[in-house]
Amino acid sequence: MIYFDNAATTAPYPEVLKTYTDTATRIMGNPSSLHNLGTTATRLLSASRRQFAELLGVSSEEIFFTSGGTEGDNWVVKGVAWEKAERGRHIILSAIEHPAVKNTAAWLKTQGFEVDLAPVTADGFVDISAFSALLRNDTILVSVMAVNNEIGSIQPLTEIAAILENRPGVTFHVDAVQALGKLAVSDFLLPRVDFATFSAHKFHGPRGVGIVYAKAGKRITPLLHGGGQEENLRSTTENLAGIAASAKALRLTLDNTDVKRQHVREMKRIILDELKKHDRVLLFSAIDDFAPNILTFGLKGIRGEVVVHAFEQHEIYLSTTSACASKKNAAASTLMAMHVPAEDATTAVRISLDAMNTMTEIEQFLTIFRTIYQNLIR
């Protein structure tokens, strides 16, 4: 089996699974309990929070745990909107945000908020001039992803942060779910960023664990109310085993990260060079200014799901676009926002690599690709 769908989810490291199992079996106490088992659980929860904070270069008090990226995005977008509603009701997103952000903002429109989508260029990057023109005196929130999940374009966060520097009343949220391990942390967790969201299963952690960075002093309305966990901002008993395992996953992911990124980038380059040789291949991703792990392409006139299933017959697993949209057989929303013709957008297939992939797998993939290409393009 060759697994090239790592942007959808990654396989947990063996060490991560061991940490999860050890924690779940040995530390069964609730961190909110007063007895010794609860105290032990609290210590591990605090240690995991410190590890996340150290790896991200922030304070422990700025790290909060959720059930995943979708909850984190919902919490930040809704929580900031509710917290700042008296000041203004205008929100700006990029046109290529993940549904966890875009659909949350769409719901806020039904609650009386205004939402503008900043357009992107033909290459999939936020148009800075158009974005700047959308800012208003009543703008309260800007949400832009770090790495696009469908084509891998790295968004111009530094330029956006510079524009927002003189607008302290505008909260800046970055969906960084696809960024950890693919970019340097300093590339997306900029000083001007107020909130950032992450999901553990994107960096070899378990499913069901998310992380929210909330800059000290920034206010947000809780999404969940209850027992007062997470400083009264996210009530529910913490997933201690998952959190401890996720902290281990992030440490392992960021270990020798430059070497890993170079390995992934080289694999992507080899595939890209081969794809360029075939005149019916449509390329939607590149090397420069794109994440090292995501390569999206299409075969002219062939729907993406046909190509995905053709590779699956050889136990090679790709995706059409994002995992959230792949089963809907819809054109990639990012490509539509880039004004790619619909007949081309529906051909999109996403390869998403990982440092655990090998050059041997790349060679096998390319051999199968040539066969599939000849069979489908006649």
Tell me the C-alpha distance between 50 and 56, whole Å.
10
Q: Name the token pair of 227.
A: 């027992």
C-beta atoms surrounding 187 within 10 Å: 15
pLDDT at 94: 98
Flag whether pLDDT at 331 surpasses 90.
Answer: no
Q: In the predicted model, what is the mean pLDDT of residues 271-286?
A: 98
**pLDDT tens track for 170-219:** 999 999 999 999 999 999 999 999 999 999 999 999 999 999 999 999 99
CATH class of 2-9+257-376: alpha beta
The CA–CA distances, whole Å, from 97 to 15, 33, 175, 224, 254 equal 33, 39, 8, 24, 25
Residues annotated as part of the active site: 324
SS3 content of the chain, % helix, strand, coil (to 5): 40, 15, 40
- Of 350, 357, 175, 147, the closest CA to residue 260 belongs to 357
- The alpha carbon dihedral of 355, 323, 275, 336 has a sign of negative
Percent of the chain with pLDDT over 90: 90
* DSSP-assigned letters across all residues of 309-370: HHHHTTTEE-BSS-HHHHTTTPPPHHHHHTT--HHHHTT-EEEE--TT--HHHHHHHHHHHH
Q: Where are the alpha helices (DSSP H) in 9-89?
A: 14-26, 36-56, 69-84
**pLDDT tens track for 234-267:** 999 899 999 999 999 999 999 999 999 999 999 9
Residues in the chain: 378
In sequence order, what are the residues at sequence separation of 6 or more whose Cβ sits closer than 8 angstroms to the Cβ of residue 118? Answer: 92, 93, 94, 95, 126, 127, 130, 131, 134, 144
pLDDT at 39: 79
**pLDDT tens track for 361-371:** 999 999 999 99
State the CATH architecture for 14-254.
Answer: 3-Layer(aba) Sandwich (3.40)
Tell me the C-alpha distance between 243 and 260, whole Å.
24
Domain boundaries, the chain: 2-9+257-376, 14-254
In sequence order, what are the residues at sequence separation of 6 or more whose Cβ sits closer than 8 angstroms to the Cβ of residue 229? Answer: 31, 32, 235, 236, 237, 238
